[in-house]
Structure 1
């Protein structure tokens, strides 16, 4: 395996610049990208899917892991020639998909085999992409290694009672366990964003431990956290109305104090509430 040119030379050769409209910030720190790639774990026989590779800062160490293959999904066509040229330096089979990751069927790309998704996610689509992968049925990935804005990363892993606790933490907890493993200061990126970032590792729970009715869970959490300062007796009114019942009836069925506020209820409480909502709706 020969060594590709330095990343900055590739960027200069192909005239690449970060596009703010795509939320792009290039990660050029080889030490950091190497650490992120290593978080994928043992990838022998595994397809790695990288979303938004840009000029290829993370792509290189992912290719060096020698997975079964690497599939890169990139919406910005400017980067494709540079990515394909870089991949030529590695023996790992490489497939380039030009398109919007929000519309790509990753499960179909893997052909049913094991997959890891690794990405320095564009800031403007990080949360909807995570929700898309959490709602995948069946769960096709065995690990997600994702870079978010630090504020979003904290929302993914927040426990009940924490300031960042809300819908995203509950949806994540329904399907997986999540932890922040690396912090990335703004200066590690080119151009530097206004905020720091963090890498979250997300592993799916065993199938028997997952809460699968995410549609109901989204309804009750949207209602509960839509008015965070109010008690659940009041904030759950919208969700209760959709089920043709009262908030008090739902809360009683779930065993939750109507005077409590949403941020104090652990994910298991919301799972019970989603079950009660589903039962009431019929």
Structure 2
């Protein structure tokens, strides 16, 4: 264990405050941060990618867990605070100043890695869909442990027939397992956000054969883009989709939120093979 000054003291010394423009909210509770870092399992010696570490609250917990952390931070104000962790954990932390949306994470890490992050609210969903997209599978990441607004987290783990069920759920569940690992009260943050937060844990699973990720994205985009409409209306602009429904025995008067993930995969496979 490395003795470090309390995070509040570090923030005060460096004159830091959370930036609304960057979607920042700081966590100070060391026990809570340690619980978050424990969600992926034993991280000793594991390469971990953290996005938006800010002053390094979660970074500390990951380092205490023995992880080898690569942290991407675009707020230059936070770099001096992170530099203190570099000194305290020599060889265990690599800090990159930059925009995570513009970097190739797999190339940057160069080895299998876990992602653990209290994602900035303004880029969280975009990063999430990027990690889960693409034709190459399994991915280089072994798991994603991500904090979102609770509403977004519920959309990711939701089941068919619920109001939250949509494209994010299909994306997260068609070749991965997704679970809600922990809820985090707004009062745990400084400053407190207006909404509750929750942590989602994702692990890749086997990719169904014969279906293109891009085709599945097109199907869900069309289906949920007009989610109030029946499938025969929402999918009519997608060549071959109505024939696929007929061949699969899926009632075209159903709406997108009633279809299971497996049914969406079946439609995607039929169109991928067409």
TM-score range, shorter chain: over 0.9
> Are 1:157 and 2:157 matched, yes or no?
yes
Structure 1 residues 170-249: aligned runs within 5 Å = 170-207=170-207, 209=208, 213-238=212-237, 240=238, 243=239, 245=240, 247-249=241-243
**1:87 CA drift (Å):** 3.1
1:9, distance to aligned residue in structure 2 (A)? 0.8
Q: Is the 8 A contact 1:174 1:212 kept in 2?
A: no
Aligned residues: 272
TM-score for both structures, normalised by structure 2: 0.94
Give deviations 1:204-231, integer Å, cap 9, x for gaps.
1135x57862211111101101111111
Change in 2 beyond 3 A, CA 1:250/1:70: same
Give the counterpart of 1:132 among 130, 133, 139.
Answer: 130
Q: TM-score, normalised by structure 1?
A: 0.91
CA offsets 1:214-265 (integer angstroms, 9 cap, x no match): 2111111011011111110111123x2xx3x4x4213113331111111010
- Please list, as runs of the form range in 1=range in 2, the aligned pairs for 1:1-282 lying within 5 A after superposition: 1-67=1-67, 69-91=68-90, 93-111=92-110, 113-135=111-133, 137-138=136-137, 139-207=139-207, 209=208, 213-238=212-237, 240=238, 243=239, 245=240, 247-280=241-274
| CA offsets 1:43-70 (integer angstroms, 9 cap, x no match) | 2342011111011110101011112x21
CA distance in 2, matches of 1:212, 1:52: 34
Change (3 A) 1:212 1:121: farther
The 1-side partners of 2:10 and 2:59 are apart by 13
Distance in 2 of aligned mates of 1:129 and 1:210? 25
Q: Which 5+ residue runs of structure 1 have no aligned equivalent?
A: none
RMSD after superposition:
1.6
> Are the aligned partners of 1:178 and 1:200 in contact in 2 as well (CA < 8 Å)?
yes
- In the TM superposition, residue 275 of structure 1 has moved relative to its aligned partner by 1.8
Runs of 4+ residues over 3 Å off in structure 1: 209-212
- Give the distance between the partners of 2:49 and 2:184, measured in 1 at CA: 21
Distance 1:38 1:103 in 2: 28
Query: 3-state SS of the aligned residue for 2:267?
Result: helix
In structure 2, the gaps of 5 or more residues are none
